[in-house]
Amino acid sequence: MKRILTLSLGLILGLSAWSANKKPVKVFILAGQSNMEGRGFPEPLAWQVSQKKYRERYTHFIKDGDFEAFTKKVAETTDPNDRGTPPTYLWSTRHDVWINYLGKHGDLTVGYGAPREGFGPEFNFGHVVGNHFDEQVLLIKASWGGRALARGFLPPSSMLSDAEYAKLAAGQNAENKAWNDAEPAKIEAYNRRVTEENKTAKKKKRLRTFKPRERVTTAQYKEQFGKDYRNMVSEVHGCLGELGKRFPRYKNQGYEIKGLVWFQGWNDQYQDRWLTYEKNLANFIRDVRKEFKAPDMKFVIGQMGNDGMKPDKEGSPRDYIKKAQAAVPNLPEFKGNALCVRTDKYWDMEAHAIYTGPGGWSKDVDKWRQFGNDRPYHYYGSPWLFAQVGTAFGEAMLELLDVVK
């Protein structure tokens, strides 16, 4: 009798897995700029895993949850004389959540962020939604550093007329001409200043000395607007069109695009771009739903949280953008299908204390790399920040999806 019961249980579990594999893959798009790329650095994460005070934050990051094996492998493969070669990290891998990010695809693990071996909101987001669904989950990331909603990610409904772009192109050409016609003395002074700055700048960020600017056509100028939006659309369609090729365990069960997470804002603080942020974000949601024929698609908006809980100056570009991000989900058409998630409350105060303390982060670089490895606009590269933000995005998405149940 015991053997029969065991076989029955095995049969039930097998049928359950078979049934889940026959259901459509649940697809989520993660879009935005550098902080959606993911600036969670592995070095501070690895150090925190070696500390009992912090390691429980990251149990699911570690293969088999074995902290000791993880820490031992990092120590064995770290070369103190070669910071360019990362050690071996024993990250966990999740087979029921797939991820696709700019030419790289596979099971969810750490390593789909902007820094090598790094991560972003996608990791904990994938774990939250993966824990919820019996079906296979797919995350498609489409994010690039330094992008503005009012320019690169401008949705089709926010595009201007050809006449308006012609006028803007003419203005750009007038600025280019003024630059090219600068007095020799001014050009020489500019070159001297840049040369001096280059002496202390990092090689990858070296500034260029005076270079004439070419005249742009209206078509060339217009092409800059919506370029990243179109690339995002291409990334998603490209991935969905090759599911079997990119993910061999895909069994032609189809897919459902369930939601999109938007985490962006920094680059709209400049050149008056913030003034149209609310309109552009609302159009972005409408246009994405139309493009992917997913009228019920849920949207989670990650509100800018740079500098943490420090109050923003009233009426400043950042204040304007954050209020716009909070306002869009409250528009009548988006109530119940969009949410704004604050990220300021996840600001890493330990990383902040080191970065802003006496002497700054460079006073003790080794200590700094225990908590972060980047600038405030990248949330210090804090792994704890990106882990918490990913969890919050995932929980918000599930909250939206529960509305229709």
**Mind listing the pLDDT tens digit for each residue in 226-271?**
999 999 999 999 999 999 999 999 999 999 999 999 999 999 999 9
Identity (one letter) of the amino acid at 261?
Answer: V
Q: How does pLDDT run across 292-302, given as a tens digit for each residue?
A: 999 999 999 99
Question: Strands, DSSP E only, in 102-241?
Answer: 104-108, 137-143
Q: Mean pLDDT check: name the lowest of 185-199, 214-228, 234-248, 367-381.
A: 185-199
pLDDT at 13: 40
pLDDT at 258: 98
70 contacts: CB under 8 Å, gap ≥ 6: 46, 49, 62, 63, 89, 90
Q: Encode burial over 341-374: b for 16+ CB neighbours within 10 A, e otherwise.
A: bbbeebbbebbbebbeeeeebeeeeeebbbbbbb
Segment holding 99, helix H or strand E? strand 94-101
Rounded-to-integer distance, Cα 380 and Cα 369, Å: 10
Q: At the fourth CATH level, which superfamily is domain 21-155+225-402?
A: SGNH hydrolase (3.40.50.1110)
Q: How confident is the model at residue 185 (pLDDT cuts 50, 70, 90)?
A: confident
pLDDT at 19: 53
Q: Where in the chain is the domain with CATH 3.40.50.1110?
A: 21-155+225-402
Q: How confident is the model at residue 196 (pLDDT cuts 50, 70, 90)?
A: confident
Rounded-to-integer distance, Cα 202 and Cα 205, Å: 5
pLDDT above 70 covers a percentage of the chain that reads 93
pLDDT above 90 covers a percentage of the chain that reads 79
pLDDT at 48: 97
Residue 358 has pLDDT above 50, yes or no: yes
Q: Encode burial over 143-172: b for 16+ CB neighbours within 10 A, e otherwise.
A: bbeebbbbbbbbbeebeeeeeebbebbeee
Residue 99 has pLDDT above 70, yes or no: yes
